[in-house]
Structure 1
Amino acid sequence: MTENNLSSIPNEMLTRTRSLSIVIPTYNESKNIVKILDSLRAALTREMNAEIIVVDDNSPDGTSQTVEEYAKSSTNSGYSIQIIRRENKRGLSSAIVTGIERAKGDAVVVMDSDMSHPPQTIPQMVEELQSSDCDIVVASRYVKGGGVSGWPFKRKLISKGATKIAQHGLGIKIKDPMSGFFAFKRQIVNNIKFDAIGYKILLEILVKAKGAKVKEIPYTFINRTAGSSKLDLSVGVGYLQSIWKLYRYGKSVQASERRTSVHFLSKAGRFYTVGASGLLVNYFVSFLFGAVLSNLWYIYATMIGIVFSMSSNFILNKIWTFEDRKFDPRRTLMQYGLFLGFSGIGAVFQLLMVYGLVELRHVNYSIALFLAVAIASVGNFLLNKKWTFQEKVWS
């Protein structure tokens, strides 16, 4: 069986013997796994006819052994527990795909094992799948009634930035496409070939499950209290790789679009998505030089972060937004200089406009800032489109 291609699953494996499968990927979660299994025992009823599938990437802390011992002591719990132990650590998304391949339920729930996703929400998710006209139910932090508990500001900023990149870069409409807590009807992924890059498999399902109807329900994400977070620089790189891969996938399956307005808006959307990614690059690089690799003065570290983010913005806009893949040195340096110049002009314009609106027109600062950013960003896009990358403005 090809691990990431669900269309290759033999027909007999698709025979449903249970109504609900819960997939839990783990790596070094021995401090949390018993708590989550106990919570599931309290939340699930016998009528739900559930199975729990724990996929462990050979955790050195003995997570898989803990699950095996728990399963042996829970034979009369009303649901089954199976452990899939993968010999090599291959990543969160591929672990989830492995669990989905083994799932026998008509509905599948994916959740984390660190107690950040409350099992008490699962009955509502399953009920929505059964009673509503939807194929995917996403437990959302960003709809009314949802929220996040225990996150520092920088974690919230990273999450919001990644969400905006997914929404604008991939055309995803829901408010929390980065959720790791969701349920779906098993049949919608039967013919999907998963790439399983990065750490958010929901993104891939949303992009590749054609015509799937999605509903969001609120929940409160609770930051882990035991174990360590898996969020690091490699996770960020993997996320950007998955966004690029999914963007290329969407582009390859869509019919060629001839309308000028759609071309223009598509490039504008990509331009602003790149801008959002630049914020993440700026933060990570500044933090890296200011707190991890060296003890640079924070101003110097921030300046390095700005240079990196502007450079990454230029490269991404050249390759992705404006699809210019010619990199002869003279032309590229000229484009780079123009890009930096227009970015500088936009920054000066933004400062002057904010000052003028606040000091001379007595406009509220937040409104003035919004107007200035909006106008400066539009101007930046149009100037770079016309002069840096030599395209017609309306094209």
Structure 2
Amino acid sequence: MTLQKPLLKLSLILPTYNEAENIIKILESIEDALPETMTSEVIIVDDNSPDDTGKIAEQYASQKRGNNRALSLKVIHRATKGGLSSAIVRGIHSAQGEIVVVMDSDFSHPPQIIPEMIKKLEGSPPVDIVVASRYVRGGSIIGWPFKRRLLSRGATKIAQYGLGVKKVKDPMSGYFAFRRQIVEGIEFDAIGYKILLEILVKAKNPHVKEVPYTFTNRTSGASKLNLPVIFDYVKSVWRLYRYGRSISAKEKRASVKFLSKAARFYSVGATGLLVNYASSFILSSLFPNLWYLHASAVGILLSITSNFFLNKVWTFEDRGFEIRKTAKQYGLFLGFSTFGALIQIGALYLLVETYHISYPLSLVLAVLAASSSNFLLNKKWTFNERLLD
């Protein structure tokens, strides 16, 4: 990304889609929060909202032109709904400020902390990115159900440990400020809703600070979280993982190695399902008098055995086959596989019966919990590797 020379102190990017109920109030709140002496601009990037959010913002901007205040308003009308991240990137291209702030327009992000974020950026030592964080001390979330909190925490952990941004407690925040020069040269994929995550991964060793804030779930309009958004997040993480792997030869990032081994472990698990099914089916076909549960038990044992050897050789690259060592490893692997099954059953029961989450979603979460614990336990104890290597 090539940027023009900054002419202002601050550019605030406000992506919008169907925010007619909020847009005027949020603009007024931003004006009240920013110091009058600060030369600033607000860039509204509207994705052709059917409720005329863009037109309302344009009318408001026209009314404000000609006053003596240092804040200016600019509206960018996009022809189609291109997504939040691409809207933010479009705003960054148009920004003329030394500092860029990104926030939502639905009052989930309070404008009152913008001056504090700017102060942190300009403090000593210098800071490149300031994240408004829900998960540092003093931060909180109001109005989210348990399922939404669980999904957010899970996505955050994937980002922290899968993409190597462990030092940032809220890498999924949509509210942040940064010095514009840190994105110079970055080629954005702009997938999904989390452009901050892409900046954290692709920027060159940014110095990051977090400030607490209270996220308040929107009170008007419709939430943007849905299944396509979740798929976009998965796609974004995969792209960033591949980006990390492409530079791993130079940087040897531990996060990439960790994620690579996790991917191998889960791939082996998928082959184990095939071994389980095929062996159970073949046994029950060859021996009609064999009880189907006995055939299934043999299939499970064979799949665990095949998983063990594939993980030993391929996932963890352990080629030592001394009898005592291999037998010990096999016993641990068998024990952790059994423990993982118990975790899956327990988590599934808890999510369905206690928190009344739908069975399909509960099953996915339970399998993720069980497979994650299985991978980490085997990595640490069976094959004696550090967790984050």
TM-score (norm 1): 0.70
1:270–1:145 CA distance, 2 compared to 1 (3 A):
farther
Q: How does 1:310-389 map to 2 (within 5 A)?
A: 317-318=266-267, 337-338=303-304, 345-347=338-340, 380-381=375-376
Distance 1:227 1:377 in 2: 36
Pair 256,231 (structure 1): closer, same or farther in 2 beyond 3 Å? same
Among 105, 129, 136, the residue aligned to 1:136: 129
Structure 2 residue 238 is matched with structure 1 residue 248: no
Match of 1:171 among 164, 172, 179: 164
What's the offset of the Cα at 1:148? 0.8
* Letter paired with 1:215: K
Task: Kindly state the Cα deviation for residue 386 of structure 1 after the two structures are TM-superposed.
Answer: 11
Contact 1:22/1:108, CA 8 A, preserved across alignment = yes
1:15-66: per-residue Cα shift (whole Å, max 9, x none)?
2211100000010010111110010111112221100000000000000010
Task: Provide, for residues 104-159 of structure 1, a one-character-per-residue CA deviation record: whole Å limited to 9, x for no partner.
Answer: 00000000010111111111111111123210000001111111111111111111
* Stretches of structure 2 lacking an aligned partner (at least 5 in a row): 280-298, 309-332, 346-368
2:39 matched residue in structure 1: 49
- Quote the offset at 1:250 in angstroms: 1.1
- The residue number in structure 1 matching 2:149 is 156
For residues 373 and 63 of structure 2, the distance between their equivalents in structure 1, rounded to whole angstroms, comes to 62
Deviations 1:330-384 (A, max 9, x none): 69978994369967512466699xxxxxxxxxxxxxxxxxxxxx99966655659
| Higher radius of gyration, 1 or 2 | 2
Could you report, residue by residue, the CA deviation over 1:228-255 in whole angstroms, capped at 9, with x for unpaired residues?
A: 0010000000001000110110111123
The residue number in structure 1 matching 2:57 is: 67
SS in 2 for 1:176: coil
8 Å contact from structure 1 (residues 382, 393) kept in 2: no
Structure 1 runs of 4+ off > 3 angstroms?
Answer: 256-259, 265-271, 324-327, 329-344, 347-352, 374-387, 392-395
Contact 1:93 1:196 in 2 (8 A): yes
Residue identity in the other structure for 2:176: F
Tell me the secondary structure at the aligned position of residue 150 of structure 2: helix
1:32 aligns with 2:22: yes
- State the identity as a percent: 50
User: Which residue number corresponds to residue 180 of structure 2?
Assistant: 186
- Which of 209, 223, 243 does residue 229 from structure 1 map onto? 223
For residue 115 of structure 2, the aligned residue among 114, 123, 134 is: 123
Change (3 A) 1:256 1:126: closer
Within 2, Cα distance between the matches of 1:26 and 1:19? 23
Alpha carbons of structure 1 residues 333 and 189: separation in structure 2 relative to 1, 3 Å: farther
Q: Which letter does structure 2 place at the counterpart of 1:87?
A: A
Per the alignment, in what secondary structure is the counterpart of residue 52 of structure 1? strand
Instruction: Decide whether the 8 Å contact of 2:340 with 2:370 is kept in 1.
Output: no
Change (3 A) 1:121 1:317: same
1:295-314 aligned at under 5 Å gives the runs none
User: What SS does the corresponding residue of 1:54 show, helix, strand or coil?
Assistant: strand
SS at match of 1:238: helix
User: Is the contact made by 1:143 and 1:175 (CA closer than 8 Å) also made in structure 2?
Assistant: yes
Q: Distance between the aligned counterparts of 2:198 and 2:155, measured in 1?
A: 15
- Asked whether the 8 Å contact 2:340–2:373 carries over to 1, the reply is no
Task: Tell me if structure 2 keeps the 8 A contact 1:169–1:270.
Answer: no
Which residue identity lines up with residue 35 of structure 1 in the other structure? K
Q: Which residue matches 1:361?
A: none
Superposed CA offset, 1:187-237 (max 9, x none): 111111000011100000000111110000111111100100010000000
**Aligned partner of residue 255 in structure 1, secondary structure:** helix
CA distance in 2, matches of 1:155, 1:256: 38
Other-structure match for 1:113? 105
Q: CA contact under 8 A between 2:162 and 2:259: conserved in structure 1?
A: no
| Pairing 1:94–2:105 present | no
Q: How many matched pairs?
A: 312
Residue number in structure 2 paired with 1:17 = 7
| Counterpart residue identity of residue 32, structure 1 | N
The one-letter code sitting in structure 2 at the alignment partner of 1:204 is E
Q: Measure the CA separation in 2 of the matches of 1:134 and 1:50.
A: 20
Q: What displacement does 1:268 show?
A: 7.6
Residue 266 of structure 1 and its aligned partner are, at CA, apart by 3.9
* Native 8 Å contact 1:179 1:202 kept in 2: yes
Other structure's SS at 2:108 match = coil
How far apart, CA to CA, are the structure 2 residues paired with 1:351 and 1:317?
15
Aligned to 2:208: 214
Asked if 1 retains the 8 angstrom alpha-carbon contact of 2:11 and 2:97, the reply is yes
Amino acid at match of 2:234: L
Q: Read off the aligned partner of 2:266 and give its amino acid letter.
A: N
Q: For residues 234 and 146 of structure 2, what CA distance do their matches in structure 1 show?
A: 21
Rounded to whole Å, the distance in 2 between the matches of 1:130 and 1:230 is 33
AA at the equivalent of 2:60: Y
